[in-house]
Amino acid sequence: MNARRTRKRLLGAVAVVMVAGLVSTGCGSRVGASGPGSSSGRSCVDTSGNSVKIGFLNSLSGTMAISEKTVHDSLLLAADQINSSGGVLGKQLQIISEDGASEPTTFAEKAGKLISSDCVAAVFGGWTSASRKAMLPVFEGANSLLFYPVQYEGLEASPNIFYTGATTNQQIVPALDYLKQKGVKSLFLVGSDYVFPRTANKEIKAYANANGIEIKGEEYAPLGYTDFSTIVNKVKAAGAGAVFNTLNGDSNVAFFKEYRNAGLSPATMPVVSVSIAEEEIGGIGLDNVVGQLTAWNYYQTIDSPRNAAFVQAFKTKYGQNRVTSDPMEAAYTSLFLWKEMVGKAKSFKADDIRKAADGVSYDAPEGKVTVNGENHHIAKTALIGKVGPDGLIHAEWSSGAPIQPDPFLKTYGWAKGLTG
């Protein structure tokens, strides 16, 4: 009995020491990376040889791995293609991959490691807004560059981040324009309970208010929530013209299964989703989402030689049953945009790249994209798509031309007061 008690106490002590060790190393790496001493002049990027290191930072484990693994795949494809066509400024890319493990603090820690111990020239990755917000101070402190490939809630423009996914005025606002054009008079908002859906819905409500659209209800489910019977009951009872869905991750599956079981259909009440891409349709079950709407800037079905080449290359590398999606395309494009920026600046230094960034364009699978040097976002074409019986998404409506990025919605009168 006594022996066991001592052992238990020992175990407790060991645990405390381990936790303390973890905490202190966590802080250490972050302080080192964001300390005042680490300015651009002290950059340890080595460009003397015939190769240059870059970092890929995606969640390869944990709850976000389902999405981020695909982004990692398409980044590797882009690196392969760049290397086989002569590299960047004549240097081959050497990839260092790190696992963000779906934890914002891990993202910050690994970003610090990539910058200060691997000395990479730039980092590509991140998915959730929480992971981006955690990495932001690391990149700003070390004056390094992050390329972030996912649509997000806007209201941000760091000099050390290039945002190659859509901001709100390139995805959510066009989706609302489309619904208004279709004569939708009322909306029901369903979202996951975290920063992106809450910010997006604030913007949607401001838009609705200015455009005479009634908001019939607004419901949030905790991330990973799986029982949607009550929320679907509320949606059904409210009888809105359409549902605007900002749910993220697995919750979508439960939501759409429940929606269909309750007898609701795209014909009577369409659902517009901003987080469901080609990759997710298989997991939700095609029967449950066929005919529903999505808002993105890229679909696998885009009919252009450039996209056909991208899809073909991806399937050849990873298998014929794989699909390509918007975040994957944005990640692929981000690596080529960085290559163009480096080529224009003739330098791997963050300051030089920043100066050269404005107006750099690339003929991406989604069409021509151009970097805005002021807010570091890129001009993209918005596409509203419908899930087809083939499991792919087909564009129903297009904004026609690339939309200039406006992360703070400054050019929209109804958005006054949102951005503070």
Partner 1 sequence: MQALYSQLVAGISLGSILLLAALGLALTFGQMGVINMAHGEFIMAGSYTAFVTQRVIADAGISLLLAIPLGFLVGGLMGVLLEATLIRRMYHRPLDTLLVTWGVSLILQQAARDIFGAPNVDVRAPSWLSGSVNIGITQVPAARLFILMLAAAAVAGLSLVLKATPLGRRIRGVVQNRDLAETVGISTRSTDRLTFFIGSGLAGIAGVALTLLGSTGPTLGTSYIVDAFLVVVVGGIGQIKGSVIAAFGLGLLQATFEYSTTASIAKVMVFVVIVVFLQIRPQGIFSVRTRSLA
Note the residues at the interface with partner 1 (CB under 8 A): 8, 11, 61, 63, 65-66, 69-70, 193, 219-222, 224-227, 229-231, 233-234, 237, 250, 252-254, 257-258, 260-263, 279-280, 282-287
Instruction: Give whichever of 252 and 300 is closer to partner 1, judged by the CB atom.
Output: 252
Q: How far is CA 313 from the centre of its chain?
A: 22
Instruction: Give whichever of 73 and 366 is closer to partner 1, judged by the CB atom.
Output: 73
CB of 277 to partner 1, least distance (A): 11
Q: Are 326 and 341 in contact (CB under 8 A)?
A: no
Distance CA 349, CA 121 (A): 7
Rg (CA), the chain: 23
Closest CA to 309 of 293, 79, 127, 317: 317
CB of 219 to partner 1, least distance (A): 6
CB of 284 to partner 1, least distance (A): 7
Instruction: Give whichever of 18 and 309 is closer to partner 1, judged by the CB atom.
Output: 18
Q: How far is CA 212 from the centre of its chain?
A: 31
- Torsion angle (degrees, nearest 10) of CA 310, 313, 316, 318: -70
Instruction: Give whichever of 46 and 227 is closer to partner 1, judged by the CB atom.
Output: 227
Instruction: Give whichever of 283 and 291 is closer to partner 1, judged by the CB atom.
Output: 283
Instruction: Give whichever of 65 and 331 is closer to partner 1, judged by the CB atom.
Output: 65
CB of 136 to partner 1, least distance (A): 26
CB atoms near residue 291 (< 10 Å): 13
Instruction: Give whichever of 107 and 178 is closer to partner 1, judged by the CB atom.
Output: 107
CB of 89 to partner 1, least distance (A): 34
Distance CA 174, CA 190 (A): 18
E strand map for 68-185? 92-99, 123-125, 146-148, 161-163
CB of 257 to partner 1, least distance (A): 6
Instruction: Give whichever of 51 and 226 is closer to partner 1, judged by the CB atom.
Output: 226
Instruction: Give whichever of 134 and 284 is closer to partner 1, judged by the CB atom.
Output: 284
Distance CA 346, CA 356 (A): 9
* DSSP assignments along 150-182, one per residue: S--------TTEEE-S--GGGTHHHHHHHHHHT
Element containing residue 11 per DSSP (H, E) = helix 2-34
CB of 2 to partner 1, least distance (A): 15
CB of 151 to partner 1, least distance (A): 19
CB of 14 to partner 1, least distance (A): 11
First to last CA, the chain: 63
Closest CA to 408 of 376, 366, 367: 376
Q: Are 250 and 223 in contact (CB under 8 A)?
A: no
